Each structure stands twice: as structure tokens, then as C-alpha cells.
Amino acid sequence: MIMKGKKGLIVGLANNKSIAYGIAKQCAEQGATIAFTYLNDSLKKRVVPIADEFGFANYVYPCDVSNPDEILRRIDDVAYNRCEPPITVVSETIKVGDKLIIVVHVPKGEQRPYRTSKGFFYIRSANRIRQASREELLRLFQATESIFL
């Protein structure tokens, strides 16, 4: 399970014959947690059952990926409403040729460690993210002087 502990966002899912469906299926089979987006209510009716097929019906969100403001709102929503304490991110858009690139900077917070709204803590190690062990959590809380032993 090479995707265990990884998270992905599937955009452009139209039906179970689309490339996005194949990618979602492979990621789910390899242990990834997947969120899905849809453009409008008519596509939502198609996306929700597919997300449910993979066990992620609660991870379906509206998002017009052709609209940078919509993407930035989605990023802010996740950082603020799904992390505890909430994270304030700094985003900017940069135009490179005819492409628009969104850069998201997550400043180092004062209230670390952060956890998801479901109570999970994660550790970044190089280019990987994994769930924190009990010992790592203890060290994180001690380093931020949140707990004393």
C-alpha cells in the first residue's frame, strides 16, 4: 500500500469511465484518503456516488478549478475549519506565460502541534507525511512547552 497515509484531491471526475476515476480507484486501492470536487449540482449527482464507492462520500466539495479565487477559498476552508488550532495560510497567484500558479505558504505557528478536526497529528519527513507516534507527540508538546513532565 504505497499511498497509505497520503491524501489526494481528484478534480474533473465525470463518470466511472474517466481518467480521474481510474486515478481515484488506484489511489484508494493503495490506501490513500481522497477528496473529490465538482463544478455544479448536475456533476455533484455523479461525483457523490463515485466518492461513496471508495468510502469518501464525506469528502466531496464544490470547486471551480478554472477560478483561482475558488481554489484559494477551498484552501483557506481546509486550513481554518479542518485543523486545530486553525491555520492561517498566505496565498498568492503568479502568472507564468499563459498559466496561473497558486503558491500557498503555511507559516510556522505558535500553537503547534496542529491536529486535524478528527484528532490526528501528522509529521512531515522530507517529502512524506505520516501519522505522529506517541513519543513524537510527547516531544512536540514538550518543545512548545505545552506539557511538562
pTM: 0.57
Question: pLDDT digit string (tens) for 115-141?
Answer: 777 788 877 766 677 888 888 888 877
Q: Where are the domains of the chain?
A: 7-109, 112-149
Instruction: Report d(CA 46, CA 38) in Å as an integer.
Output: 9
User: Among 19-23, 93-97, 123-127, which range has the highest average pLDDT?
Assistant: 19-23
Superfamily of domain 7-109: NAD(P)-binding Rossmann-like Domain (3.40.50.720)
Burial 72-88 (b: 16+ CB within 10 A, else e): bebebebbeeebeeebe
